[in-house]
Each structure stands twice: as structure tokens, then as C-alpha cells.
């Protein structure tokens, strides 16, 4: 693989170093990110060999959890620090980072990106009409299931509960794993139940919080609470993040898993106990008349406005999001490309056969309200995960949590002025 990366870099890169470059070109990314291991390091070494006059690229491993990554970057950027040049941004952070003036404007590369990318990822990198990041990968959650234990994926969450509980009991394994710890990932899980039952958080222009009186909001929350009580959710669900869920599922200890595309490549690794035993489908619907609604996730590369190596950082962002590099990431670590043409690429399909079939899952995925709430998204999200968690842990009833949450969100929304 290193060979491929070197050839690709040599083929598509760039002129020499930046005149007047300062220090290293620091690429800030999560410590456990699949690409921060071997693949990312290979790219860095190849890049540095091809750019002997610098700046030299160096990976700065941030904490494992995206929430901690966001916080660490925010601390640096709020202090106008040039420490990190290239920022690995969750799609829900664009508005906040752009609004706070932390990002270099990438309008110059918009035309190049817009014409070859899916709409959702481009919008996720846009704030107030300007482009602030280069789309790298788009995420929509899948339902992973054990093909040796169930014939076909369930169509509704109700069916999933019935099958999961029965099959889990027969085999002495957990029926379902997903993300229930109090953090962004749990908000996403809740939203999928809410959207799948036809509900929403705000009215279409984001001026009014509307979910508190929406029966789907209660249905979604009660589904989560009941699933914890009935044992549909694996023990420890309310502390699980993506990797906890994956570890249980991949070790053969769950029938179903809700997770992002990255879990596919790992589940099919040569030493994976679930190799050859995993099917992938769209998430179940909220009910027979509901929708299969995944949440739009994903990651983009942005450039620190205070960087002293802006040109080199933009060049590296361009390279990392190029078709060649997105293809490599799709094959090696099942990162879903943001470039639709790659969904027909035969090398990618050979490794991830579901990718072509599930393209509509990505194009139909629903964005979280960060594009409405801008810099307040993190606050909205944490109010949310606290409310859901209080219900799951039995500290408050579902109705009570939702009423309180609606009040808080209405206050934060300042009549849609956010």
C-alpha cells in the first residue's frame, strides 16, 4: 500500500515548498483515527521526501474522542495559535469554527470541489455561502448484521428488537450494540429514531423548536429507554461509543450493530472473528410508514486561519481529498468517498460491495442542525445528550426530559436568531 501511496503522491503533487514557510506543517487528527496509524504516516513520509525544502509535515495526535479533539483545537484557535495547520473537522463543527473566525477561507478551491462532490458534504463544508473545508469522507450509519445468524436485515426497529432478542438469547450474545454514552454519537442515534419516525427538531428554517410536542420525539426516547430495560441494548450501552460497539460486534458478541462505514473494513480484516459473516443494510425504519433515515456524518479538512503555512496546508488538504486519495481511503479503511463517481469504481466495489447499493443512504442522509445553530451546536448537542442520558439512567421520565429540553433549546434559539 505504501507503494501505491507514493505513486499517487508523486503523480498528483505539487510544486516545492512554500517561500517563507515556518516550522512544521502540523496535521492535527484523532489519535485512534484509522488513518492516523500506518496509512497517514506513509503519506507524511512520502510527502516529506517529495518536498525536501519543507515545510515538513508532522502528525499531531489529538485525543481519541472527537469531543476532546474539538476542545483541544478550540483552545488553540481561541488563543490565535498557529500550532495546528491542517484541522480535521467533523461536519458539525464547520459553522462554529467559521463563525468564530478560526478557518482560512477556501473559496478558491470551491469550483474544483463542487463539481465532483456529493451535495451533502459540500454543504457540510459551507457556512454562510462560503467554503471553509475540503470534503474528505461522508458518513451515514449502517445496520450491520450477522449473516450466519439472521437471514435478512430487519425492516423496522420493532422487527429488529424481536429478532435481536430471540437470536441473541439463542446464542448467548447481545442483541444490539450502538452508541449510548452521553456524547455526540448518542445524539445521532436518538435523531435516527426520531427522523425514522417522521419527527424533526426544528421547523424547516430553524426558527422554531418543534420536537417537544411531536409524538415521534417521545416514541424515539421511549424506544431507547425500553431497549435498555428489555436487554435489546447490550450491557453497558449507556457508556458505549463507536469503538466500544465495534469491539463487541467484531468479537462475535452481538447480532446487530449500528455503526458508520469505517467498521466494515475492520470487521473483514484477516484476523477478525466476524470476517465473512457480516451483512450491511440501511438502518431500519421507525415504523412501517416511517423512513430509513441515517444521519449525515463525515469529516473534512480545514486550514487554520492563523497558520503560517497556509499555501502548503491548502495543498495538502487538496491532495488528501483528491479522487486518488479518497479511493485509497475507501479501499483501505472503508471511508466513504464524497466523490460520487467513486461509487462505481470496481476496485472499491470489490472491497466494499455494499457501497454502490447504499449510495442513496448517503444522498438521503439528514444533516444535523449545526447549519442552523452555527456556533451553538455543541451546546445544543450537549443539552440533548444530557436529556437522553437522564432518561436512560432513570433520573427523569421521558416526557419530563423532553419538556425541559424543549424549553432550553427555545431559549438558546432566540426565536430562530441563534
Bridge partners of residue 145, in order along the sequence: 256, 279
d(CA 151, CA 149): 7
| Residue listed under C-alpha cell 435516527 | 192
Rounded Cα–Cα distance for residues 124 and 135 (Å): 8
For ligand GLC, which is the closer residue by CB, 147 or 247?
247
Output 199 or 298, the one with its CB closest to ligand GLC: 298
Q: Which is nearer to ligand GLC, 92 or 398 (CB)?
A: 92
Strands (E), 63-101: 86-90
- C-beta of 192 vs 242, nearer to ligand GLC: 242
Q: How far is the CB of 325 from ligand GLC (least distance, A)?
A: 18
Q: Which lies closer to ligand GLC via its Cβ, residue 47 or residue 88?
A: 88
Instruction: Determine the residue with CB nearest ligand GLC.
Output: 297
List of residues 6+ apart from 336 with CB closer than 8 A: 137, 138, 139, 140, 261, 298, 330, 355, 362
Q: Is 137 helix (H, G, I), strand (E, B) or coil?
A: strand
C-alpha grid cell, residue 251: 468479537
Q: CB of residue 15 vs ligand GLC: minimum separation in angstroms?
A: 33
Burial class (CB in 10 A: 0-12, 13-18, 19+), 31: middle
Point out which residues pair with 305 in neighbouring strands.
none
Q: Which is nearer to ligand GLC, 67 or 168 (CB)?
A: 67
Count how many Cα atoms sit within 13 Å of the Cα of residue 281 in the half-sphere of its side chain: 18
* CB of residue 111 to ligand GLC, shortest distance in Å: 25
Q: Cα(390)–Cα(114) distance, rounded to whole angstroms? A: 42
Nearest-approach distance from CB 241 to ligand GLC, in angstroms: 7
At closest approach, how far in Å is the CB of 29 from ligand GLC? Answer: 12
Residue 391: its H or E element: helix 377-392
* 8 Å CB contact between 105 and 325: no
Whole-number minimum distance, CB 17 to ligand GLC, in Å? 32
> Which residues are near ligand GLC by CB under 6 A?
66, 90-92, 139, 184-185, 188, 242, 260, 297-299
27 or 260, CB closer to ligand GLC?
260
* Smallest separation, CB 344 to ligand GLC (Å): 23
Smaller CB separation from ligand GLC, 69 or 309? 69
Distance CA 385, CA 96 (A): 19
Least gap, CB of 139 to ligand GLC (angstroms): 4
Q: Strands (DSSP E) along 271-382, which ranges?
A: 278-281, 297-303
Amino acid at each position: 500500500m505504501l507503494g501505491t501511496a507514493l505513486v499517487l503522491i508523486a503523480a498528483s503533487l505539487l510544486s516545492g515548498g512554500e517561500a517563507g514557510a515556518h516550522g512544521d506543517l502540523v496535521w492535527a487528527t484523532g489519535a485512534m483515527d484509522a488513518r492516523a496509524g500506518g496509512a497517514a504516516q506513509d503519506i507524511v513520509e512520502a510527502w516529506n521526501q517529495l518536498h525536501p525544502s519543507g515545510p515538513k509535515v508532522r502528525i499531531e495526535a489529538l485525543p481519541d474522542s472527537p469531543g476532546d479533539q474539538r476542545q483541544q483545537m478550540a483552545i488553540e484557535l481561541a488563543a490565535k495559535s498557529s500550532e495546528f495547520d491542517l484541522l480535521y473537522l467533523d461536519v458539525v463543527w464547520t459553522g462554529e469554527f467559521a463563525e468564530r473566525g478560526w478557518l482560512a477561507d477556501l473559496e478558491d478551491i470551491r469550483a474544483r470541489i463542487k463539481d465532483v462532490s456529493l451535495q451533502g458534504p459540500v454543504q457540510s463544508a459551507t457556512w454562510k455561502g462560503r467554503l471553509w473545508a475540503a470534503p474528505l469522507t461522508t458518513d451515514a450509519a449502517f445496520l450491520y448484521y450477522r449473516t450466519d445468524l439472521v437471514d435478512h436485515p430487519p425492516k423496522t426497529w420493532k422487527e429488529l428488537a424481536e429478532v435481536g432478542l430471540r437470536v441473541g438469547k439463542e446464542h448467548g450474545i447481545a442483541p444490539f450494540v450502538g452508541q449510548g454514552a452521553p456524547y455526540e454519537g448518542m445524539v445521532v442515534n436518538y435523531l435516527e429514531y426520531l427522523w425514522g419516525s417522521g419527527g424533526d427538531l426544528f421547523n424547516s428554517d430553524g426558527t422554531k423548536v418543534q420536537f417537544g410536542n411531536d409524538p415521534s420525539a417521545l416514541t424515539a426516547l421511549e424506544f431507547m429507554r425500553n431497549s435498555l430495560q428489555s436487554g435489546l441494548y447490550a450491557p453497558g450501552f449507556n457508556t458505549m461509543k463507536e469503538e466500544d460497539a465495534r469491539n463487541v460486534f467484531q468479537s462475535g458478541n452481538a447480532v446487530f450493530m449500528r455503526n458508520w462505514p469505517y467498521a466494515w473494513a475492520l470487521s473483514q480484516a484477516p484476523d477478525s472473528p466476524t470476517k465473512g459473516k457480516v451483512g450491511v443494510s440501511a438502518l431500519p425504519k421507525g415504523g412501517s410508514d416511517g423512513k430509513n433515515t441515517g444521519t449525515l456524518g463525515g469529516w473534512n479538512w480545514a486550514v487554520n486561519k492563523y497558520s503560517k503555512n497556509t499555501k502548503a496546508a491548502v495543498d495538502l488538504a487538496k491532495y488528501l481529498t483528491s479522487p486518488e486519495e479518497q479511493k485509497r481511503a475507501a479501499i483501505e479503511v472503508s471511508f466513504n468517498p464524497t466523490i460520487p463517481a467513486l461509487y462505481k469504481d470496481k476496485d472499491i466495489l470489490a472491497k466494499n460491495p455494499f457501497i454502490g447499493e447504499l449510495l442513496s443512504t448517503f444522498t438521503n442522509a439528514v444533516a444535523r442542525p449545526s447549519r442552523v445553530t452555527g456556533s451553538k451546536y455543541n451546546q445544543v448537542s450537549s443539552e440533548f445528550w444530557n436529556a437522553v442520558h437522564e432518561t436512560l439512567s432513570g433520573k427523569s421520565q421521558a416526557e419530563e426530559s423532553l419538556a425541559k429540553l424543549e424549553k432550553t433549546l427555545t431559549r438558546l434559539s432566540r426565536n430562530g436568531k441563534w
